[in-house]
Structure 1
Amino acid sequence: MALRAFFFIALVWILLAGCSSEQTTVTSNVYHNLTAHYNGYYYAREKIREVENIIQQSLDDDHNQILRLYPKLDTVLAKTYSKDTEEAIKMASLSIQRHPNSKWVDDNYIMVGLARMYDCDFVNAVQTFKYVNTKSKDINTRHLGLLNLIRAFTENEEYQKAEEAFLFLEKEPLNKQNAKKLYMEKAYYYQVRNDYNNMVRNLTLADSLLGKKDQKGRIYFIIGQVYQQLGFGSEAYNYYRKSIATNPAYEIDFYARLNMAQVARLDDKRDVKTVRKQFDKMLTDAKNQEFRDKVYYELAQFELKQGNVPEAIANYTLSAHAGNNKRIQGSAYLRLGQIHFDSLKKYSLAKNYYDSAVSALPPDFEDLETIKKRQEVLGEFAKYTETIAWQDSLLLMASMDSLTLRAQLDSAVASRKKIEEGGKKKRRRTQGTSNSNQSNPFFLEDSNTTPDWYFGNLSAVGAGQSEFKRIWGNIALEDNWRRSNKTSILRQAEEQIAVAQEEAEQGEIKGNTKGTDEVDKIFSQLPLASDQKEKALAKIEDAYFNLGD
């Protein structure tokens, strides 16, 4: 018994002796390493991981833009997790104080530095990481301190210092983890600097070093985005495919498939058909319901590249009405405005689309100020072109036989009203179920469109074109309205009436109303007398003068 008591007392004495922070014996080192790791560093690291999860969840990804590699550190967000960072600093600091000879001291300093960086306390974070690089005896830990220093410098916009740090590390023998982190930190640095060539170069270097926990699918998707923006479609396609192969988050998978269709090589008509089938498949997939606006937008982009302007217009219109994403809706309206301005030269419609685009686009949209300036210019431009078109058409109609003109106007108005009534009936049917609404967004209404919007109804457009061809045949637009030839005048008159009808459907023509007296109102505006014709010509001349000013 006495011997057992002796050994027990000796063991207790050894353990107590090992508890001293000044001891460097084997027993002391084991004790301090264990307690420093599990009582201090472990809890500090867990708190830092919680903070990193909060920061990661703050990412508001816009898959139409190149995704950020890391979230931007923000002082407002930092306030939401300040207690966690305080706790991390406290636990790591206590571990350092109580176990100064343990091998976890440098790791605890790393935790303190990260907590300060996530708090946006960059000055103290930098000092902490520099201390680790200076004092640590472990080369890998020193390298880790410098790697975190790069991130702190980048976040604090001290780009020259960040570059100096990674240029130094490029010459150092790094282990696999630190080499991967160096490539990622450099890629983030170049992303912040909008240097996408160097960004993608470093990401591809990191590729072979990525592990399962590195969100490989997201990183591959970002590489694909950068390659696509730089114009390397084949490389982008390969990385989108690699992203899908990792079974990433649903949105990444969806947008990777969508972007693959954008960059696919189209060597012949079969390839074009294949891509269209891919779009159709995405539109019919119930899982993609909330992304239909994006699918329609990209389908429109695809059709525009193929030179199919009518199909592009139809799909941009569907995109604008298929969802609630204001960025996509505004982008669709913007593209419609650009097409009508640059390609179709329909300035009144272009102006309306630009109005809708500016109303929908978020404040941070790229080149929004330039878009607003074009909107303002179009407002004046459209006003004068409308004046020319309307006065020109009135002069042309005034030269026609009144009975023939009335018959043709009555026919045109009746045809349009028939189409409108058909559209209203169809809307009433489709409003009964949400599925019908989703399958035909042409008839959805919002604050930016009127319920009877002509170009929102493909059947209306088709019927209008058929009616026009039935009466006038296939004719080309011409400007020689003063030509004495009666047939040419009739043709040009109908062209101007068609233009007036288009604009009337958009609510752009003064004095135009719906009802049985519409034709009478047009007749009442005809410049039949000489002084009326002179006034109409003066308005046209004045409008041309203002356009050229």
Structure 2
Amino acid sequence: MAEQDMLEAEFEMKKAYKEDYNQLLPILLPIDSVLSLPFKPKLDDAIKKASIVAEKHQNSKWLDNSYVILGKSRLYLGEWADGLEALRYVYANGRDDNDKDNALILLMRAYIVRKDYSNALGVAEHLSQQPLSKSSARDFYLTKAYLHQQNGEYLTSVAILEETFPVLKKSIETARIHFAAAQMYDRLGQYALANKHYRSVKKNRPNYDLGFYSSMNSLQNEVVLNPKKDLSDIGFDKMLRDRKNDDLRDRVYFTMGLLAEHRRQIPEAVGYLQKAAAASKGNLQQKAYTYLQLARINYESLENFELSKAYYDSALVILPREAPEYTLVADRKRALDNFVTEYTIVTTEDSLQKLSKMNPAALDNKIDAIIEAREQKRLEDEAERAKKALIASQITSVANIPNQMMNGNERRWELYDPALINQGKIDFKRAWGNRPLEDDWRRSSRPLRTLAGNGNVASSDSSGLAPEFVANNTLKKGTPEWQQIHDKLKSDVPLTEPQFTESQKKKEEALYNLGKIYRFDLKESQRGITTFERMLVEFPKTQHKDEIYYLLYLSYEDNNANKTVWRDRLTGEYPNSTYARLVSKSTDDSGNSGNAVKEYESVYQLYTDGNHTQALENIESNLPAYKGGMMEDKFALLRVFLIGKVRGKEAYAQAITEFMRLYPSSIYLPRLKEMQELNALSMGKR
């Protein structure tokens, strides 16, 4: 009876588990206490009944089975300590070898869920030497394949599965495992073998979604294997017309977008992905991955960084926090926030400086041309919105004809009918958006945009007037309104020497920050190198020159000749700088580890004694000697503390930022982040 309760709970948990076919399917369903929460009464009942045997019938032949059920049920409920103890009891005291093997297989699975792979491998090694029954051998091999899959060892995992498939019966579980094997072959780049398993999915009674996604993935692989394949023969149109695929149309468009991108048809890929996002019906996970693809394409291929940032923002809102990509997406989103700010400054100042070099007449003509282009774009947008509104109103009128008839042909006044009022509000929002109630709705009364923008102001300052009024509302050259906009745009151009110097300073700092964002946040060393080299060309006397030399030195691989070039330039031009000392000395861990400990203890003693200035001098002179050693980040952390004591909060904040940049993998990084937040609070920045 206890076993039946547990089996029923497992069956319900499998039904409730929602697969994410964009991720690698786990070979075995995860043991998740959150997933089991709705079925806790069943599991509690199984525990209660199995406990009767354990407490009152110690001589029963079902004692081992009862402890296995106890252990498994408690694992499902998240009671790990009790569950593991019950399974270990069976292994240590069990009388039935088959029950002991089953307990060890469950114990191995529990270790995998807790990511304790070393203990899981130890259990697997023991089980591999035992004579197992047919069912136990099947469970053991699936669990061992699951272990290697979760540990990222896909080749070993699929090798075990290949030996296991012949003993698996046709079922939806076997179809899932074939799908997981195909996904691992995809990650290994063996697309032909992957397609073999995608085809096997259909032979093992999959549910509709599993069969659909296996077909989609198989189609992608066919295009990779046969680049000349005609996409029109695949049958996407038929899939889109099939009513059974209404809630999967987003995946069809998503696949079409991936295939178009694979063939470097970027505009088509973007179009399909946008259709995928629009077609999503409650499938937020698929929508999130669609946004991620659009963000990546806009960043890598189109270099439309602002739009890429917007897509990352949208993906982050709907992406589950437990998704493997969540942390990476959040980090990239934060990086792009800063990146877009600095990139906008660079492009804006570039444009303004080019305008400043024009003669006055050419500059005036250029500004007039910019205003004309904006005005034309505004009028086009207004006409398009008016056209959509007209179509929407006609559709609404036809739809509301039955509701508009009363007493024969008499039309009921809308303000007497709440339903018509609500329909009118909906139609208005559909045509014009959620417009605020304001008095300055005319374009001439709108706040002016500066030239520093991207040139497209129509989306935020168009009036939304009807087409018949647009002609009368056109901004005309020579009018006071036109001249007002002209003067405002011209005032942004750095025409005087102080203005140009200020523009150069903004651009220099933005380039410097942009290079560091490429190097440390976006992990794009080559773009960082290009940005730093551009900065050295445009600002040869920059105050950041020594640090840029050092960052260029770090950005090249060890076997690249340019690494030596930048090291030599740094040590030659700035021999006494901190960065020169960092690159000119290396640590012999075996010879200097003892000295490093003694030196650290000496400096730390000065710190505890209150001799902060002396300690800081010692640590800054000796830190480069231990570069690359085990103690380097520990020295650097103590230096941060000392700077806070000696040089004040501003220097302290800068030292924290420098530590986080130079030691991104340090174990002290979480502590530094806390220190940074506390320092920001004390400085009144938050």
TM-score tier by shorter-chain length is 0.5 to 0.7
2:143 is matched with which residue: 182, 185, 206?
185
Q: Percent identity?
A: 26
Shift of 1:506: 6.0
CA-CA distance at 1:135 after TM superposition: 5.0
**CA displacement 1:30-67 (0-9 Å, x = unmatched):** xxxxxxxxxxxxx1221111221233244232211112
1:125–1:258 Cα change, 3 Å? same
**Equivalent of residue 49 in structure 1, options 7, 13, 26:** 7
**Residue 542 of structure 1: how far off its partner (Å):** 4.2
Q: Which residue of 2 aligns with 1:388?
A: 349
- 1:345 maps to which residue? 303
Mapped partners of 2:102, 2:248: distance in 1: 41
Do the aligned residues in 2 keep the contact of 1:398 with 1:527 (CA within 8 Å)?
A: no
1:517 aligns with 2:470: no
- Preserved contact between residue 394 and residue 527 of structure 1 (Cα < 8 Å): no
Match of 1:546 among 504, 509, 529: 509
What does residue 200 of structure 1 align with? Answer: 158
Provide the rounded CA distance (Å) in 2 between the counterparts of 1:548 and 1:74: 48
Residue in 1 that maps onto 2:121 = 163
**Aligned in 2, Cα 1:409/1:153: closer, same or farther, shift over 3 Å?**
closer
Cα 1:214–1:404 shift into 2, 3 Å: closer
Q: Considering only aligned residues, what root-mean-square deviation do their CA atoms show, in Å?
A: 4.0
* Match for residue 332 of structure 2 among 371, 377, 382: 371
What's the offset of the Cα at 1:156? 4.6
- Asked if structure 1 preserves the Cα contact closer than 8 Å seen for 2:43 and 2:73, the reply is yes
TM norm structure 1 = 0.68
CA pair 247-55 structure 1, distance change in 2 beyond 3 A: closer
1:259 aligns with 2:224: no
Alignment of 1:3-42 (within 5 A): none
Other-structure match for 1:174: 132
Corresponding residue pairs, total: 443
What residue number does 2:72 align with?
114
Residues 214 and 83 (structure 1 numbering): CA distance in 2 closer, same or farther, change over 3 Å? Answer: same
CA-CA distance at 1:266 after TM superposition: 4.4
Q: Describe the shift of the 1:543–1:206 C-alpha distance in structure 2 as closer, same or farther (beyond 3 A).
A: same
Instruction: State whether structure 2 residue 253 is matched by structure 1 residue 296.
Output: yes
Asked if the contact 2:28/2:143 (under 8 Å) is kept, the reply is no
CA distance in structure 1 between the aligned counterparts of 2:187 and 2:113, rounded to whole angstroms? 24
Aligned CA distance change for structure 1 residues 542 and 225 (closer, same or farther; 3 Å): same
Contact 2:172–2:204 under 8 Å retained in 1? no
Change (3 A) 1:506 1:330: farther
Match of 1:504 in 2: 457
- What is aligned with 2:663? none
Cα distance change of structure 1 residues 320 and 133 upon mapping to structure 2, 3 Å threshold: same
TM-score by length of 2: 0.56
Q: CA deviation at 1:378?
A: 2.6
Distance 1:303 1:397 in 2: 46
Asked whether the 8 Å contact 2:312–2:329 carries over to 1, the reply is no
1:231 matched to 2:189? The reply is yes
Shift of 1:163: 1.7
**Mapped partners of 1:195, 1:332: distance in 2:** 28
Please identify, of 116-125 and 296-305, the stretch whose mean Cα deviation from structure 2 is larger. Answer: 116-125
1:213-259 CA distance string (max 9 Å, x none): 56111111111122212222112111111112323112111211111
What is the Cα deviation at residue 391 of structure 1? 2.9
Residue 422 (structure 1) aligned to one of 384, 392, 399: 384
In structure 1, distance between residues paired with 2:227 and 2:170? 39
Q: Which moved more, 1:294-303 or 1:263-272?
A: 263-272
Cα distance in structure 1, aligned partners of 2:342 and 2:301: 16
Task: Please tell me whether residue 125 in structure 1 is matched to residue 83 in structure 2.
Answer: yes
CA distance in 2, matches of 1:203, 1:340: 39
Query: What does residue range 269-284 of structure 1 map to in structure 2 within 5 Å?
Result: 270-274=228-232, 277-284=234-241
Would you say the 8 A contact 2:253–2:276 is kept in 1?
Answer: yes
Q: Tell me how far apart the structure 2 counterparts of residues 529 and 221 of structure 1 sit (CA, whole Å).
A: 59
Are the aligned partners of 1:114 and 1:125 in contact in 2 as well (CA < 8 Å)? Answer: yes
CA 1:139–1:543: 2 relative to 1, 3 Å? same
Q: Distance in 2 between matches of 1:397 and 1:325?
A: 57
State how far apart, in whole Å, the 1-side matches of 2:203 and 2:360 are: 68
Residue in 2 that maps onto 1:315? 272
Cα separation, 1, equivalents of 2:251 and 2:499: 46
Moved more, 237-246 or 186-195: 186-195
CA 1:326–1:86 in 2, change beyond 3 Å: closer, same or farther?
closer
Contact in 1 for aligned 2:367/2:489 (Cα 8 Å): no
- CA-CA distance at 1:167 after TM superposition: 0.9
Q: Structure 1: which 5+ residue stretches go unaligned?
A: 1-42, 434-444, 453-496
Correspondences of 1:396-407 after superposition (within 5 Å): 399-400=361-362
